[in-house]
Amino acid sequence: MRKNILITTILTIAVILGSTFTVLHGQELMPLAVDVYDLSPVAKKEVECLADNIYFESGAESKAGKIAVGLVTMNRVKHGFENSVCGVVKQKTNSTCQFSWWCEAKAKSIALHKERYLSDKQWELYNEIRDIALYVYMNHEIIKDNTKGALYYHANYVNPQWKLKKTVTIGNHIFYSPY
């Protein structure tokens, strides 16, 4: 009984703080399910920024492709590109957005005012993506990184001539890490 109360207390604190947590299931770490509405306001905003990035960068991709875009975003936070998910998503180098959609007026407007612009079908997709974003945000340190640590990617129909190490291709994106 005391053990259950302790676990419940720890999980409640973790949810309030927006922390990553897991339970041990046999010998395997398993992510716990959390609803986005249970998060702190800061964590909720971070998940929304991550969901927006996944929506605009890989909305038509498979679940693995969406997770990959989310993981690159989290990898960039871990590597100090910016100190938050929202900072990474909105980051500019000189006048170039790191994620091109953020510099596109229409996409940016949709992201900031979804309730005005998204159809019912688009909301359905966005809600699925937000669930993926929440999963990646809460568990990025324990889930297998299908990008193999990538910090960069581009669509397969462009060739930016990067001098980076290709890690993997997932759907229509090619992922890279620094050498």
Q: What is the pLDDT of residues 67-123, one digit of tens each?
A: 999 999 999 999 999 999 999 999 999 989 999 999 999 999 999 999 999 999 999
Rounded Cα distance, 99 and 28, in Å: 34
Check residue 82 and give its pLDDT. 97
Query: Does 58 reside within a domain?
Result: yes
Query: Does 2 reside within a domain?
Result: no
Query: Does 138 reside within a domain?
Result: yes
Mean pLDDT, residues 155-161: 94
- Per-residue pLDDT band at 23 (split at 50, 70, 90): very low
Rounded Cα distance, 38 and 27, in Å: 28
Mean pLDDT, residues 48-60: 97
SS3 173: strand
Rounded Cα distance, 15 and 99, in Å: 29
| Residue range(s) defining the domain that contains residue 78 | 36-177
Residue entry with tokens 């509405």: 37
Rounded Cα distance, 71 and 89, in Å: 12
Query: Does 7 reside within a domain?
Result: no
- Number of domains within the chain: 1
Amino acid, single-letter form, for residue 28: E
Query: Does 62 reside within a domain?
Result: yes
With 60 as the cut, is the pLDDT of residue 27 above it? no
Amino acid, single-letter form, for residue 69: V
Query: Does 65 reside within a domain?
Result: yes
Q: Are 143 and 68 in contact (CB under 8 A)?
A: no
Largest pairwise CA distance in the chain: 60
Q: What is the pLDDT of residues 30-41, one digit of tens each?
A: 555 677 888 899
Cα 89 off chain centre by: 10
Query: Does 30 reside within a domain?
Result: no
Query: Does 92 reside within a domain?
Result: yes
